[in-house]
Amino acid sequence: MAKRFYTDVTVDHDADGHFVRLDGRELKTPGKQPIRVPHAAIAAQIKAEWSAVPQAIDGDIDPTVMPVTRLANVASEGVSQRRDELIAEARKYAGSDLLSYRAPDPQDFVARQAAAWNPWLDWARARGVALETTDSIRAIEQDPTSLDAVADYATPLSDFALTLFVHLVAVYGSAVLAMAVTDGALDPAEAFDLSRIDELYRSEIWGVDEDDERVRLALRTETETLGKLAIYFKTI
């Protein structure tokens, strides 16, 4: 693991966006690409992650606790050349969206899924994404028009916003939840809990596995941190 090699962490900007300097040197991706983010507040969060590295001579730089830096690295490493691929990935996820696949039983769990997920399917339907549901294990074909609406939603997003959106789609297993978070209609931590209804239900019955719970909470915290970045896209 790399060690802390710098003292000062500062934020700067130029015509291409906001970025961080370590002892005056521009922070770059592992592939030596410049990092530019679309809002000063996002750069400030990257600064906070690098400032939080222990200042002792042997302070470890741990990327696993730097989610905003990691996202910025991904967004800066060739996303502009892969936009069509990422948009297609989001569209494909919508075709098997988590919210479309329901449990056939027990009835209390069926009711819980419906109460939690149906309002967000209705929200998406009002935006042109009308997804069908099933309680069968067999895949269902979704209306291509609805899948195209997901692609249309993703298309105008900036490289950074698109990177975040596709990340949220993958974490939630749901393009609908990711759209709601990106639009600011749904809290990212609440969306995470909605995407883990089955895990939470099983834990109520069988108890909580401490190792699994530790992993779940860490991912929830990271997703909440990243999901809250979406608010800045409204002011760019």
Q: Give the per-residue SS3 of 190-233.
A: HHHHHHCHHHHHHHHHHCCCHHHHHHHHHHHHHHHHHHHHHHHH
- What percent of the chain clears pLDDT 90, i.e. is strictly above it? 87
| Res 236 pLDDT > 60 | no
Are 113 and 98 in contact, with CB atoms under 8 Å apart?
A: no
Q: What percent of the chain has pLDDT over 70?
A: 97
Provide the angle, in degrees to the nearest 10, between the axes of the packed helices 159-172 and 83-95.
30
The pLDDT score that the predictor gives to residue 137 is 87
pLDDT of residue 58 exceeding 70: no
Q: Tell me what pLDDT residue 3 has.
A: 87
Residue recorded with tokens 């990691």: 70
**Which CATH number among 3.90.1570.10, 1.20.120.1200, 3.40.30.10, 3.30.2180.10 corresponds to the domain 9-77?**
3.30.2180.10
pTM, to two decimals: 0.94
Which pair of structure tokens corresponds to residue 46? 């990257």
What strands lie across the sheet with 17-22, from one edge to the other?
Answer: 9-14, 17-22, 25-26
- Nearest-angstrom CA–CA distance, 36 and 21: 11
Domain 81-235 coded CATH 1.10.3580.10: yes
Q: Is the pLDDT of residue 90 over 60?
A: yes
* Domain positions in the chain: 9-77, 81-235
Average pLDDT estimate for 60-67 = 92
Q: Do domains 9-77 and 81-235 have the same CATH topology?
A: no
What pLDDT was estimated at residue 209? 87
pLDDT of residue 106 exceeding 70: yes
C-alpha 35: how far from chain center: 19
Using CA atoms, how far apart are residues 195 and 186, in angstroms rounded to an integer? 12
pLDDT tens sequence across 4-21: 889 999 999 999 999 999
